[in-house]
Amino acid sequence: MQPGVTSAALILAGVAFCCLGQIGQSCSTIEQRFKFNNSDIYVRLRRGEKLQYEVMKSSTTLQTVTLDNFVTSSNLEATTTGSYKLTDGTTSIEFSLVKSNSTITHIRVTRDQVVKGTQPKDCISLNIGRTHWYGGAEQKEHYWPVERQKYSNFSYVPKELGNMGVAERYWLSSDGFFLYVNNTTPLFIDQNSVGYEGKLCMSALSELPYETRVTSAKFSYELAFAKNAKVAHMYAVQTLLGKPTGYPDERMVQYPVWSTWALYKAEVTDEVVRDFAQQIIDNGFENSQLEIDDDWEDCYGALTFRANKFPDTKKLTDDLKALGFRVTLWIHPFINNNCTAIYETAKELGYLVLDHDGSADTQWWNSQPKDAAYLDFTKTAVQDWFTTRLTRLQTEDGIDSFKFDAGETSWVPTDPVLQGDEYLTPLQITTDYVRTVAKFGSMVEVRSAQNTQDLPIFVRIVDKDSEWGWNNGLVTLITSLLQMNMNGYPFVLPDMIGGNGYNEKPPTKELFLRWLQANVFMPSLQFSFVPWNFDNETIEISKTFTQMHSDYTPYIMKLFERATATGEPVNAPLWWISPTDAVAQGIYDEFLLGDDIIAAPVVTEGATNRDIYLPEGQWTDGNNSSLVYTGPVWLMEYEAPLNTLPYFVRVGFTLA
């Protein structure tokens, strides 16, 4: 003990605790420290203004967690399983050592009985300025690293708000620590909100959008510590996130997907589709497939082609295939009320998500309030019915595969009745939808996900705007790519090249070409706005970069195979190849393809050069093979006119 500090200590069941205070004063802080059997891992409990616990390895503190709404005078108690419990009279916290070796330390913290109406909140410091954070949710304003994000009592589920299509409950720090909150927790988070500045706080509350009728909630999370972020993340992949069991279609990687959406919006017809296909051919571009997007149906949810738009769909698809196209179709999980026949059928069969008052009324972007319903994919019968109707589109209309839209939990009626574990509500509607549609094979694309990292399909980044900045623009294409990879989804389908042109703001020539360049070393290219919308220079530059992407397809497919074997990302952040490099840890506008290629696209309007950071290693300039750089090094004001994509290849790498 330090001089001038009194100590009252007692050893009980392997637990030591002491009261600390100045001589002559009452104790201000009470500490307890307990050691897990056969390890050098401790948890130290500190009672001060707020209760805290520290995870320690020998005498080193690995992480401190503040228990914001937990007050107790009880002592820690050892359990028969080797864990320790702390009780406040109504609920208990259990600390368990899952794994401890020279590589990893893994602690599980669990509350099984969170009393309804209470909201325990556990907070960690983000150590802003010293530590960077990765993972978290897909966001419209997608800052990276993610410690800059702000949330206030925010329900953490896949939802429309903020383009939150992928929202795994996983945060990884540059120090080699990760936090993973289990899906049975009705999770709300605070991050940098009033009173929680510089903190990430997780809490459990049985309120909407979660199941409100449970008598008590669960609150369980995992803490793990490794020597660096890469080691920690690979452990998370192996134990919590999972890895793909297969990979998407190679042709979707090699050649562009052409979508009607951004260019034509809902104005699609047989004539429009044929003309679009002919334009692609006439301008000398290859294709993976042509995707027919919104407003092809008789009515939303019918899953039948509208005859006055598409008089003979089978002839259309046959003709497109004769031209070398595959044909895919935009699909959603809704039925609008005015689609009367199919709506009434689904309602009679009990196939719609109902709220607890028995109403199926909901809304999506192609309906008015209370004018639509959401199919209940938590029911096996609905999965089978939906699958059968889509299969008919393939066998009778010649559709090859599908683009599946929506899937987030926020589209269901408020307070829904869902099947399955009530503690998973509403997450299971996203999981079950995605797992249902993934059965259509390797050409499938979805835009939402929830614990579906094992599926061998593309996950599409939610719609981007035709902007440059953090307002859902080009720079966030990169940050969303990185977030998805670090959530365990390596097969990322970037959004439309140039963005979606919403609010009557299509991309400029400059934005279009910079967006295409940013896509080159991502897994796939997707056009809707087209190069010939601009000029001949745009066409020629676009051909150069689509060919470059095609040339790297064998390497991308090798990385897909690696992802299925090890769970490693296809497009990782720059620090992946140098995990302790403090500069690389903060880079947001460069990314890796595998371990051997660094992409550094220009993402600033009007820029014709940019600063580039190269981490440890020897790197050949992709635009000038006579230039080789030894990292770590900054290349300042690297020249990048409109026809140039800055990229670097590790010395010794070959495509062969």
Ordered by where they begin, the domains of the chain are: 31-238 (no CATH), 250-333+378-562 (3.20.20.80)
Q: How confident is the model at residue 89 (pLDDT cuts 50, 70, 90)?
A: confident
pTM score: 0.94
Q: Which residues pair with 133 in a beta bridge?
A: 173
pLDDT of residue 49: 82
What tens digit of pLDDT does each residue of 358-415 get? Answer: 999 999 999 999 999 999 999 999 999 999 999 999 999 999 999 999 999 999 999 9
Confidence category of residue 21, pLDDT binned at 50, 70, 90: very low
Instruction: Report, as an integer, the average pLDDT of 425-445.
Output: 98
Query: What band does 48 get if pLDDT is binned at 50, 70 and 90?
Result: confident
Helix (H) or strand (E) holding 219: strand 216-226
Q: At what angle do helices 474-486 and 509-519 cross, to 10 degrees?
A: 20
Which value, in Å, is the radius of gyration of the alpha carbons in the chain?
27
Beta bridge partners of 77: 85
Please give the DSSP secondary-structure letter assigned to residue 588. -
User: Span 492-512, mean pLDDT?
Assistant: 97
Could you tell me how many helices (H) and strands (E) the chain has, helices first? 12, 35
9 DSSP β-pair partners = 18
Is the pLDDT at 74 greater than 80? The verdict is no
**DSSP states along 89-134:** SS-EEEEEEEEESSSEEEEEEEEEEEETT---EEEEE--TTT--EE
Q: Which residues contact 276 (CB under 8 A, 6 or more apart)?
A: 258, 260, 263, 264, 290
Label residue 645 left, alpha or beta by phi (over 0 means left) and psi (-120 to 50 means alpha).
beta
Residue 465 contacts residue 254 (beta carbons within 8 Å): no
Supply the pLDDT for residue 371: 98
Q: What percent of the chain has pLDDT over 90?
A: 87
For residues 269 and 33, which has the higher predicted lDDT (pLDDT)?
269
Token duo for residue 180: 């993973």
Residue 565 pLDDT exceeds 90: yes
Tokens in use for 447?
């835009």
pLDDT of residue 76: 80
Distant-in-sequence, close-in-space partners of 639: CB < 8 Å, separation ≥ 6: 608, 609
| Rounded Cα–Cα distance for residues 203 and 121 (Å) | 4
What pLDDT shows up at residue 29? 53
> φ, ψ for residue 85 (rounded to 5)?
-120, 150
> Is the separation of the CB atoms in 163 and 138 below 8 Å?
yes
**Alpha carbon distances (Å) from 394 to 315, 326, 388:** 13, 12, 10
**Does the pLDDT at position 641 exceed 70?**
yes
Maximum pairwise Cα distance, the chain: 93
Residue 638 has pLDDT above 50, yes or no: yes
638 in Cβ contact with 610 (< 8 Å): yes
Summarised one tens digit per residue, pLDDT across range 206-237 is 999 999 999 999 999 999 999 999 999 999 99
Is residue 34 very low, low, confident or very high in pLDDT (cuts 50, 70, 90)?
A: confident
Rounded CA gap, 6 and 291, in Å?
Answer: 74
What is the chain's mean pLDDT, rounded?
A: 93
Distance in angstroms (rounded) separating the CA atoms of residues 521 and 293: 26
Neighbouring-strand partners of residue 151 = 191
In terms of Cβ atoms closer than 10 Å to its own Cβ (0-12, 13-18, 19+), residue 614 is buried
Closest among 55, 43, 38 to 16, alpha carbons compared: 43
